[in-house]
Amino acid sequence: MSDPRVTSLEGELPDGLVDAVLAYEAALSADDVPALADAFVRAPTTLRGDASGLLVGHDAITGFRGRRGGTPPRGLAELHVRAVDAGTALVVTVNTPARGGRGLVTQLWSLDDGVWRVRAAQVQAPAPALDARVWRVVGAPLVPPSGAGELDGLDVAVKDLFAIEGQRIGAGVPARLAEAAIETGTAPAVADLLEAGASVRGLAQTDEFAYSIAGRNSGYGTPPNPAVPGAIPGGSSSGPATAVSLGQASVGLATDTAGSIRVPASYQGLWGLRTTHGAVPVAGLLPLAPSFDTVGWLTRDLRTLQRVARVGLARAEQRLPDRGVVTAPALLATADPAVQEAFARRVDALVASGALEEPESVVLPPVAEMFADFRTVQAAEAWAADGEWVSAHPGALAPDVQGRFDAASRLDAATVAAARERLDGYRAALDSALGDRVMLLPSASSPAPPLDASAERIDAVRTATLSMTCVAGIGGYPALSAPLLSVADAPVGLCLVGPRGADLALLERAAAFGSPKHG
């Protein structure tokens, strides 16, 4: 049977197939979520993939449809059918979006209870010139190397908090970018990488003013999480992390105040190093909370991270910690049970293999109290850094970030001073408990939550995760997130927290721990 709507055909055209394909296209244009849900086989093995990753199962695909919103108007330029049998066909279509370009969709259709439905689909959208969720500005490169050395051939996604000569600092906020002055110099943390042979691929997005660990951004959109499609990417270094995950950059140059490197590394299965406080210069960096702000890097593999860290830490004195290892049950208790189980299994396996000594359990100051005082001081410093601008621009920030600034604005000097004094005591207690040893814990309290998680769920994850990650901030310690845990096929980082100055030693220690455990 021939059909003028079919561009090419192999085999006999199954009855009703072309009508089903066109009905699917119409449902896409209308954003008819129920019809789109019915167009896919209702099975846990149904597949849909695109540049952001692979969704497995009808429920995951339907959830994605509900979050995404409609597809921009498009026409069909070509429709190719390869009939496998009377109830199965491979369909390839070329679409023409109204905004330009051409897309390609490959689908496996099958008869399901007498109705044609999609069993598997691969979607290739027209290539964007720039994914504004990931990048604020990008070049080929944006900044070339200024020298040659250990980082020859590497390109860097720079978090949009660092000064680069000739560029503006946007800090993830469109309104701030519009008013920002052009920078007349380049931050040393960037310049050091350029002098060692790396290039800057571009400035990558951040959560607004870096005051979040979710990775969401109300002004530019949320970057994808290639490791867990349909999940948040983690923040606030969301853009650099996603750029590295997608292979668009070799290195993400980022910041970590309370977990902004470790959390996206955990959620996306990357290596991420928060350096010792003060070890990497912060000149030319827009601050969030200077008492805790640090510079660090995200990479896909440990060797690249070691190369970058040697360059970035060249000015910093380094030390070797003791071989001893500790864990803190009170910190572990804040993680989801599945994360606790994955952590325990991994530690047991490392001990059994001889890669790790048997950890000693240590008692820390009350976790909730440490986090509360950390949060108070962080908020006070964030308000000191950005409060004037925030006050002058109502409505410029997402509600959750705005809420943190609102709370910060109400802090009084006595409350902040008391919190600072207690933090000094906590730091001394942490130094005593850790000694010269490395502490192990999960990098985050859970795998990456879904994009459509409620505000309450995101806030609960934030509190649980920051209760763990704030320890490195309080102590000024280096902390490495290694992609060595897995929960339901989603990555979770294994975090190594070391004594101040043990940054490079943490990387060497992790090298003995084996291969990543996700996928």
- CA-to-CA distance for 418 and 376, rounded, in angstroms? 10
- CA-to-CA distance for 377 and 173, rounded, in angstroms? 23
What is the CATH topology of the domain spanning 325-511?
Answer: Amidase signature (AS) enzymes (3.90.1300)
Take residue 214 and report the two structure tokens written for it.
């979710």
Take residue 24 and report the two structure tokens written for it.
């699917």
The domain 8-124: what is its CATH number?
Answer: 3.10.450.50
Take residue 5 and report the two structure tokens written for it.
């709507």
Q: What average pLDDT does the structure give for the chain? A: 96
Give the start-to-end residue ranges of the domains of the chain. 8-124, 135-312, 325-511
C-alpha distances (whole Å) from 185 to each of 161, 163, 164, 417 are: 13, 7, 6, 35
Same CATH fold assignment for domains 135-312 and 325-511 = yes
β-pair type (438-442, 479-487): unpaired
For 135-312, the fitting CATH number among 3.90.1150.10, 3.30.70.270, 3.90.1720.10, 3.90.1300.10 is: 3.90.1300.10
Residues 445-469: pLDDT tens digits? 999 999 999 999 999 999 999 999 9
DSSP per-residue letters across 346-365: HHHHHHHHTSSPPPEE---S
DSSP per-residue letters across 371-403: HHHHHHHHHHHHHHHHHHHHHHSTT-S-HHHHH
Would you call 43 helix, strand, or coil by DSSP?
A: coil
pLDDT tens string, the chain, 519 residues long: the values are: 579 999 999 999 999 999 999 999 999 989 899 999 999 999 999 999 998 889 999 999 998 877 766 777 888 999 999 999 999 999 999 998 887 888 999 999 999 999 999 999 999 988 777 899 999 999 999 999 999 999 999 999 999 999 999 999 999 999 999 999 999 999 999 999 999 999 999 999 999 999 999 999 999 999 999 899 899 999 999 999 999 999 999 999 999 999 999 999 999 999 999 999 999 999 999 999 999 999 999 999 999 999 999 999 999 999 999 989 999 999 999 999 999 999 999 999 999 999 999 999 999 999 999 999 999 999 999 999 999 999 999 999 999 999 999 999 999 999 999 999 999 999 999 999 999 999 999 999 999 999 999 999 999 999 999 999 999 999 999 999 999 999 999 999 999 999 999 999 999 999 999 877 653
Cβ neighbour number for residue 340 with a 10 Å cutoff:
17
- What confidence score (pLDDT) does residue 1 get? 54
- Minimal CA–CA distance to 276: which of 432, 479, 7, 48? 479
Residues 136-177: pLDDT tens digits? 999 999 999 999 999 999 999 999 999 999 999 999 999 999
- Minimal CA–CA distance to 17: which of 93, 73, 122? 93
- CA-to-CA distance for 32 and 329, rounded, in angstroms? 49
Residues 277-328: pLDDT tens digits? 999 999 999 999 999 999 999 999 999 999 999 999 999 999 999 989 999 9
Please provide residue 329's backbone torsions phi and psi, each rounded to the nearest 5 degrees. Answer: -55, -35
- Minimal CA–CA distance to 109: which of 122, 96, 124, 121? 121
Residues 84-102: pLDDT tens digits? 999 999 999 999 888 788 8
